[in-house]
Structure 1
């Protein structure tokens, strides 16, 4: 799920899972006898259990929605729990448990009204539950995922103004406060809830049945769900760490949904009629990260030269097997506020050589850190090495280990392979590009840029705010540290009986890995 925590793949995960799920196999994709005619005609019908295979986290897995880092964690959490808001396909915030929100004139107080919803035990979701959940996440003694995202809220001053209304007091003006409500991991749990692995209580579309960490989790339809009862009777999340194990399980009828397939697999099976391949566009940013605080990338002419060395189509075709779109050195292609009017950058080796010469770096040698931690990283490094050689740059590709790669590259080295899942452009800026950002991998630290971000957060008018974001992106386009060469498709495989899977939802958004609107034909 998180761009720095893509799990390794192990075949044993699925073998363990199938041993626990074998007794369930016969009911896997069969529904009840009701609605069979509807299923045959292609319209939604109720019934059946869908088995979904994800890479997992082994025996340390938990159903605590505030702790999850892996895609499997998030998929399970969104089946059991709800957030106040979530992200649409364009990464704008959409209301969920929050029915509406409204700010004061200075954007530092927000009134949030909850919709009428209940937890699985029948108790109503209240303002006290929300404040408890956020205060739990913000606990300085804990390492909950959404802690940094909730930082703008003064939780000591925030209060319930009614059973279903909360006044959030903020530490500073925050025009994009709905993004905070939609933050990854900001799920609402009942007041005083602390244990989640035995019988978690949420307000989501499915209720807890069973959980075996590192193996499987089974959840049953919540008929009282505020957004409408799911069509499926049950959903089972099965751990299958290796991509080959997920594919073989799908082909063998042991699961009906396989998450995160690679482009080679998709190409081999697409259009063959045995399984369906679903491509979620713009799912993962692919980039080279240049450290702007150290030589040679402390010279913006060198950074611009590297922008012009990249042949983006060759990188997409070679590293992603063509399963993606070229980038333009800006995050969030197709997302809200994306500066789409900037000219598409293309390879210009003559201009790159000229810039390097001006910078006194015409015989530049630099190391490029990469790893097998993510699909396409090693291939992208090799392709870019060859492209750079044409501009007189010698790149030494250094292969790093999977376990330490993400932590190492945040501080070490000068150039590295990088990728990120979907998030709002505002969040990308605040978490990665401000002087005090905790994951500032490019070491981009400019007080005037910080000031533009604060200015944007103080503007009520959306069009005026968008103009400031465009100005910031123009600066990054000209001299930033992210060489964003592509956006990879996120690829999912399903059985042909699976219907209703959303095809326009990048990973990490509302409709990705949501099974409440899915059915089995």
Structure 2
């Protein structure tokens, strides 16, 4: 085994370091903020052929952008994709997201609510930590109480807000009852939230010898450079095919691609659409496109002029040529949006007509609103791929409707914080999450990341009604009503859904191809193999 200190001497393509544009800030490394249905029997190899019979053995080297010397293996502190991937390898959550962003059981073998949906009984599966200790209800309660500590900055703290952790209790070694502050029909989404990994009761240190229940065990960790893990033969979900897994940090995309082409790694995370398109044609490496992984939008502030007038918001819906935005800003690597989050996800209102560009209708609405000759500022930044390109394309589209859009470049370091409260119109992106979570985190009057400042008491009431409705069909109908309202007068102009692009070596098999980023089968290295 190569020692961590000489990793980059062996792999010169990985020496270069650069800035990582995280996938969301307020929009979420939720953006990770970060479950598929493709198992080893259905996954395909990089060329799209059947993966064949899994082969045991070998070390997979996977390159991700990283966070430098401040990186940690604490699964409750991570914000980047590499954090999520390492956390998934070492730890487990009670639940995780399927490809349609519905919650499916992981460490929680079963869950059941009471009639009023404010108490949930959880049964844990039989699983062991890497040191042989069995998973217990005490580990779960400790983990959640640690995450909820108000003195800490753990990412998932807001996700656990519905739980009354003082009243929640263990009812047996492998059973516990979560007491909630209010009815929450979609409580499984809370258990699947990013950053809710289960650690051992009392664990406080993770960078020297982290102990989880995950498919891989710790070997070594050098922040900003390399993490080496080995197969957990006793893993509850079946031992991985790989002997070892190594995460290598390479912040520059060119370094990841060159290392892949040179055979130094077999998996390169986060490639640009242009790179993906070029190498699909060349054929030397496999390109995997994870569809519907990133919502692309413009966020209009609904609480201030000019977007406090719903006619102006509707006019902007009609100004957008979504196909042109996808082609120009995403190099065609995505699908057109329809002003709603979550295309292809559970509860998505796909019965609504696809909105098309209609400049005459836009001019008519602006005239009715007394907004002819409108001038607005569009905030953007190089913080995310396609943002600056989308801003320029939309500026030109708006000009054809008589609207002047001034594009203002913001800082990559502070963009997500700046746009939450300031400005009137901005570029926005979000990673995969359940539609219910998108609503609760961004569209309720009290939501902390309400980038559109959407405040609607009737909308809030529909959400609360949905959370008090046990029948899934009844909840779906309520989510449909909420989405119809957003489609008509909301603040998100959702123009597209970008692919998440991965590069793989021809020797790597079993990579799930139907798993948006942030879901269970994304970066699920316990189900891949080398051949």
SS where residue 187 of structure 1 aligns? coil
Q: 5+ residue gaps in structure 2?
A: 13-49
- For residue 413 of structure 1, report the CA deviation from its aligned partner: 0.6
Tell me the distance in 1 between the aligned counterparts of 2:279 and 2:302.
42
Tell me the distance in 2 between the aligned counterparts of 1:109 and 1:43.
44
For 1:383, which of 374, 387, 393 is the aligned residue? Answer: 393
Q: Which residue of the partner structure matches residue 57 of structure 2?
A: 47
- For residue 401 of structure 1, report the CA deviation from its aligned partner: 1.2
Q: Which residue of the partner structure matches residue 32 of structure 1?
A: none
Q: Which residue of the partner structure matches residue 31 of structure 1?
A: none
- For residue 106 of structure 1, report the CA deviation from its aligned partner: 0.4
- For residue 254 of structure 1, report the CA deviation from its aligned partner: 1.4
For 2:524, which of 506, 514, 517 is the aligned residue? Answer: 514
Q: Which residue of the partner structure matches residue 155 of structure 1?
A: 165
Q: Which residue of the partner structure matches residue 10 of structure 1?
A: none
SS where residue 168 of structure 1 aligns? strand
- For residue 21 of structure 1, report the CA deviation from its aligned partner: 5.0
For 1:93, which of 96, 103, 107 is the aligned residue? Answer: 103
- For residue 396 of structure 1, report the CA deviation from its aligned partner: 0.2
For 1:305, which of 303, 311, 315 is the aligned residue? Answer: 315
Q: Which residue of the partner structure matches residue 323 of structure 1?
A: 333
Tell me the distance in 2 between the aligned counterparts of 1:299 and 1:143.
37
Q: Which residue of the partner structure matches residue 300 of structure 2?
A: 290
1:20 lines up with 2:23 in the alignment: no
**Superposition map of 1:121-270 within 5 A:** 121-270=131-280
- For residue 493 of structure 1, report the CA deviation from its aligned partner: 0.2
CA contact (8 A) 1:498 1:519 kept: yes
1:72 lines up with 2:82 in the alignment: yes
**Superposition map of 1:473-492 within 5 A:** 473-492=483-502
- For residue 311 of structure 1, report the CA deviation from its aligned partner: 0.2
CA contact (8 A) 2:271 2:503 kept: yes
1:120 lines up with 2:107 in the alignment: no
- For residue 23 of structure 1, report the CA deviation from its aligned partner: 5.5
- For residue 213 of structure 1, report the CA deviation from its aligned partner: 0.4
Aligned-pair RMSD on alpha carbons?
1.4
Tell me the distance in 1 between the aligned counterparts of 2:259 and 2:417.
33
- For residue 180 of structure 1, report the CA deviation from its aligned partner: 0.6
- For residue 18 of structure 1, report the CA deviation from its aligned partner: 8.8
- For residue 369 of structure 1, report the CA deviation from its aligned partner: 0.5
Tell me the distance in 2 between the aligned counterparts of 1:485 and 1:18.
45
With over 3 angstroms needed to count, the CA separation of the structure-2 counterparts of 1:288 and 1:18, relative to structure 1, is farther
- For residue 244 of structure 1, report the CA deviation from its aligned partner: 1.1
CA contact (8 A) 1:86 1:510 kept: yes
SS where residue 146 of structure 1 aligns? helix
Q: Deviations over 1:417-438 (max 9, x none)?
A: 0000000000000000001101
Tell me the distance in 2 between the aligned counterparts of 1:193 and 1:445.
41
- For residue 271 of structure 1, report the CA deviation from its aligned partner: 4.2
Q: 5+ residue gaps in structure 1?
A: 1-16, 26-39
Q: Deviations over 1:1-34 (max 9, x none)?
A: xxxxxxxxxxxxxxxx894255599xxxxxxxxx
With over 3 angstroms needed to count, the CA separation of the structure-2 counterparts of 1:256 and 1:361, relative to structure 1, is same
- For residue 272 of structure 1, report the CA deviation from its aligned partner: 2.6
SS where residue 317 of structure 2 aligns? helix
Which stretch has the larger CA shift, 172-181 or 267-276? 267-276
CA contact (8 A) 1:21 1:216 kept: no
Tell me the distance in 2 between the aligned counterparts of 1:76 and 1:499.
20
**Superposition map of 1:465-504 within 5 A:** 465-504=475-514
Tell me the distance in 2 between the aligned counterparts of 1:41 and 1:62.
34
With over 3 angstroms needed to count, the CA separation of the structure-2 counterparts of 1:18 and 1:351, relative to structure 1, is farther
Q: Deviations over 1:173-213 (max 9, x none)?
A: 00000001101000000000000000000000000000000
SS where residue 516 of structure 1 aligns? helix
With over 3 angstroms needed to count, the CA separation of the structure-2 counterparts of 1:444 and 1:50, relative to structure 1, is same
Q: Which residue of the partner structure matches residue 420 of structure 1?
A: 430
Q: Which residue of the partner structure matches residue 448 of structure 1?
A: 458
Tell me the distance in 2 between the aligned counterparts of 1:148 and 1:332.
21
With over 3 angstroms needed to count, the CA separation of the structure-2 counterparts of 1:24 and 1:350, relative to structure 1, is closer
Q: Deviations over 1:318-341 (max 9, x none)?
A: 000000000000000000000000
Tell me the distance in 1 between the aligned counterparts of 2:305 and 2:259.
49
Tell me the distance in 2 between the aligned counterparts of 1:408 and 1:253.
41
Tell me the distance in 2 between the aligned counterparts of 1:311 and 1:271.
28
CA contact (8 A) 2:216 2:232 kept: yes
Tell me the distance in 2 between the aligned counterparts of 1:498 and 1:420.
29
SS where residue 258 of structure 1 aligns? strand
Q: Which residue of the partner structure matches residue 23 of structure 2?
A: none
CA contact (8 A) 2:399 2:405 kept: yes
Q: Which has the higher contact order (CA 8 A, sep 6+)?
A: 2
CA contact (8 A) 1:216 1:239 kept: yes
- For residue 252 of structure 1, report the CA deviation from its aligned partner: 1.1
Tell me the distance in 2 between the aligned counterparts of 1:370 and 1:255.
34
Tell me the distance in 1 between the aligned counterparts of 2:277 and 2:462.
44
